[in-house]
Structure 1
Amino acid sequence: MTAQAQNIAIDPEDRLRADLYNFLGLLLARPADQMLLEQTAGLTGDDSDLGQAISGLARVAKISKIKSVEREFNALFIGLGRGELLPYASYYLTGFLNEKPLAKLRQDMASLSVTRAQNVFEPEDSMAALMETMGGLIVGRFGQVVPLERQRMFFNNHIAPWATHFYTDLEGAKNSVFYGSVGAVGRAFMAIEKEAFRLTAG
């Protein structure tokens, strides 16, 4: 996604939310490189469900090798013809790629001045792109900070209907080891976001 830098004060809690969205987006967009694997291995979590999932991911990252993570990513998301999982909203919600959920997402992205980067060719409704977009909306990376109500609408329309299902599938996929732990983090984080948006709904 293309972005504009903006110098604005962001609430620390919102900054952490955006960081986790961006982190998940990065992990799902391409196989982790050595730097990302080392950063992941250095994470620590508290006793909450999310904190325990983050600690579990860090433990797996510490013993993971770049080549094995790359093979795992390819088996999960690329494969011969297709991977074990198809991480797209259209597929999860309709059983087909490039369907109505993608068209609706593109409309909402246009209204928020979010456009796909020229060097990105996969559909915008991939989980990686949606995580990155949500992170950008929170901190104003697309020109302005998006109010909480608009964040809630975007989340409820494009992420909530399928994210828990996807992350649960990722956690339990037969080719998942490192990415199974990524799935656990995503599932726990989506539960927190869903409940937080429910509690703050007007």
Structure 2
Amino acid sequence: MDSIYKALTEFESSGLLLRDFFIASDSRSLKSAYLVLNQAASALTEEEWLAVEYDFNALFVGPGKLKAAPYASVYLEEAGLVMGKTTLSLREFMEQLGLSLNKENNIPDDHISCVLELAVLLSVNARQSAEYTEAFIHYVNEYVLSWVPVYCEKIKINAQTAPLRHVAETLSDWLDELKTRVSI
């Protein structure tokens, strides 16, 4: 696994760090992912971390209506439901490339963590294959940029804690870099 990470660019590594943050499943993994993503965050108190965890759940997990649902289909489907036609189209796109998700975590294909991981995977492979370059450009322009900027704005608007606003800004900056990589 370490050899895979050594082959990644800083941009690609950052994408995986963002993936790890958005896929955090408990307070320990959330804190760990955030600390790796933002080295200056270690000064938060335990009470502040509880507020971040509460904010994370309100934005992305629930219960109740999510303030910033981490699923593409919520933004791209008329009914705003998870696992709609756009999710199935994404699955078909991946299958055409010979890819599939590891179903271990039971996360829908259009979850932001999966979207980021696929962008990184395509970026890595695009450096060595024209087929992947075309797929990478298509994926970013037709899929990622069609909803992730709106998702970032929802986080910025609804986040109650500075760490979550910081992650939204980090994701926005990462998207800006992603745009430059597909417009070359």
**What interval of TM-score do these two structures reach, taking the shorter chain for normalisation?**
0.7 to 0.9
Matching residue's letter, 2:68:
L
**TM-score, normalising length: structure 2:** 0.79
What runs of 5+ residues in structure 1 fail to find an aligned partner? 43-57
Q: Distance in 1 between matches of 2:168 and 2:64?
A: 23
Match of 1:67 in 2: 50
Asked if 1:35 is matched to 2:27, the reply is no
- Describe the shift of the 1:41–1:127 C-alpha distance in structure 2 as closer, same or farther (beyond 3 A): closer
Superposition CA RMSD, Å = 2.8
**TM-score, normalising length: structure 1:** 0.73
Q: Distance in 1 between matches of 2:2 and 2:62?
A: 36
Of Structure 1 and Structure 2, the greater helix share is in 2
Q: 2:155 aligns with which of 164, 170, 173?
A: 170
Asked if 1:91 is matched to 2:91, the reply is no
What runs of 5+ residues in structure 2 fail to find an aligned partner? none
Aligned pair count reads 174
Q: Distance in 2 between matches of 1:128 and 1:41?
A: 18
Q: Distance in 2 between matches of 1:134 and 1:61?
A: 29
89-98 or 168-177, which deviates more: 168-177
- Describe the shift of the 1:174–1:40 C-alpha distance in structure 2 as closer, same or farther (beyond 3 A): closer
Alignment of 1:122-133 (within 5 A): 122-133=107-118
Q: 2:59 aligns with which of 76, 91, 99?
A: 76
Match of 2:15 in 1: 21
Q: Distance in 2 between matches of 1:185 and 1:129?
A: 17
Structure number with the bigger relative contact order (C-alpha 8 A, sep ≥ 6) is: 1
